[in-house]
Structures are given as structure tokens and as C-alpha cells.
Amino acid sequence: MKKILVPIGTHPQSEKTLQYAVDFAQHIGAEIFVMTAFNSPMAAGNLSNVVGKIEKSNQEYLNNIIELVDKKGVLIKTATYVGSVIEGLEAIDAKLGIDLIIIAPRSMDINEDLYLGNTTGSIIKKTDIPTLLVPRECEFTPIKKILTAFKSGIVTDSSILKPLLLMKAAFEANVSLLLVKTPNYTQEDLVVDPSLMDVSKKISITENQTTYMGVLEHFQGKKPDLLCVFRRKRGFFEKLWKKNTISKSEFWVKIPVLVLPSKKNE
């Protein structure tokens, strides 16, 4: 895990997400790419001059955010993109090969409705890059306990587990597996793939209405520093395939969440 991408939006505390990414990158020996994206304005006149001015303004904004963090010797590079955030992520990934995205959920304020807003939800839904969701209130501490929760033990592509394995090794973390039997499960779902069992022999099986409810049942006992889940159409954030947001009634935790993509059949 050598290249980490941190998309920066307009949130007034964006530097907190970047600081976590810097601390994380220092620990695992990675470099950081900070990006922002903007749509080209539909305006008369010299469009290239307009885009150039906006790009300059965005570059200055990124530089200001970077100045607010303690770099700790981590190499930080910047990129601006004309287009959507998703297009920008895909373009940078195609050029550089991004190993991990670090981004904040929409808000951790319990009084707000959404855990994942439209932009963050779209990143989870539409990209195949592993993503670490880090609440802005979180300060980096070495990850010692990882809870990996899933509703199906089927793994169509063992390479998706690479970020989890790298974190386990880098932090010398203990990993626990949690298989949640939800309504309409199949017998195939209960057969845990050997690649998952290679991650950890510690596995619990529970039965709940949703995977999230299963996690809540075990959360206090496990006290994880990181929750790892899978992005599948029949997975943890399956409602993202109906919309681009996740409400706090559907999911809400105060710790970082590693979302692993499915490379093949969802």
C-alpha cells in the first residue's frame, strides 16, 4: 500500500481528514495524493482562461489545507481535475494506481440524518478502490483490533482482501470475523472462503435482520479500532445500489471503516 488518495471538498475541517491520512501514511510508508475536482463553467468568452483561474484557485485551496497539517516527512502531491469527483478519481487511479482512498463520512453529528452523503456514497458505490472512511473527530492511533463483518462467506476475488492483510501486518493487528446470517441467506453464504479464514481463525456467527444489527450486537464486546466491510449488492451497504446515500438509521459508528470492493460478480 504505497499510494493514498485524499479527495478534498469544501468542508471547513477537511484538514482533519488529511492529518489522519498523513499519520496513517507515515506508519505504513506511503505517499499521499490530495485532489479536488470542479466542473467546467458554461460561460461565454475565453473558457480556457476561466478554467485556468478556477484551477489556480483550487490549487491554492489545496496548498492552504496542506499547510494546516503536520506532514511528518510524508510526501504529499496535489492534483486538480476538471469534471466530477468520480471521473477525477478514476483518471488518477488509471495514471498512478491508487491503493487506498481516505475520506470522511458526511458527518458524525448524531442530529444529522446522513452517515454517507451523495459524494462519499457515490465513491463507495462507483469505484473499485478500497476506501477508508474516517470520521473527522478521529485522531490516528495504531490499529490493534479489526472486526471484519459480512453476510456471505463467498469471496469471488481474494485480491480484494489485500488492504485488510496489509493493515493486519503493518499494525500487527488482531482480526476477528463476524458472519451475520440475515433473512434469505443461503447455505453457500455460510461457507466461509479459505482466503477469509486465512485472515483470521477467530470467527463468530450470529443471526440478525441486517449485518449492521449483527455488528452492534458484538461491538461492545469486541471493541474494535477498525470495522472492515464489503461493498456488495448483497453486502453491508447494499442500499447504495438504490440511492447514493446512507442514513444514520441504517449505519453509524464512530470508528474508521474500511470498505473493500468486489472485483468480480457483485
| pLDDT digit string, tens, across residues 160-173 | 999 999 999 999 99
Q: Quote the mean pLDDT of the chain.
A: 86
149 close to 178: Cβ distance less than 8 angstroms: yes
Mind listing the pLDDT tens digit for each residue in 213-265?
999 988 888 899 999 999 876 667 777 777 888 888 888 888 999 999 876 43
Residue 147 has pLDDT above 70, yes or no: yes
Instruction: Supply the DSSP string of 71-104, one letter for each residue.
Output: -TT--EEEEEEES-HHHHHHHHHHHH---EEEE-
Q: Which amino acid is at 259?
A: V
Instruction: Average the pLDDT over 194-218 and give the result.
Output: 91
Angstrom CA distances, 186 to 67, 152, 191, 192, 214, stand at: 52, 9, 9, 12, 17
In this prediction, residue 184 has a pLDDT band, given cuts at 50, 70 and 90, of confident
Mind listing the pLDDT tens digit for each residue in 100-141?
999 998 644 444 688 888 888 888 888 889 999 999 889 999
What's residue 262's pLDDT? 74
Q: Express as a percent the part of the chain with pLDDT over 90.
A: 52
Q: Which domains are seen in the chain, by residue range?
A: 3-103 (3.40.50.620), 145-260 (3.40.50.620)
Residue 46 has pLDDT above 90, yes or no: no
Give this prediction's pTM: 0.89
Q: Which three cell numbers stand for residue 143?
A: 490499529
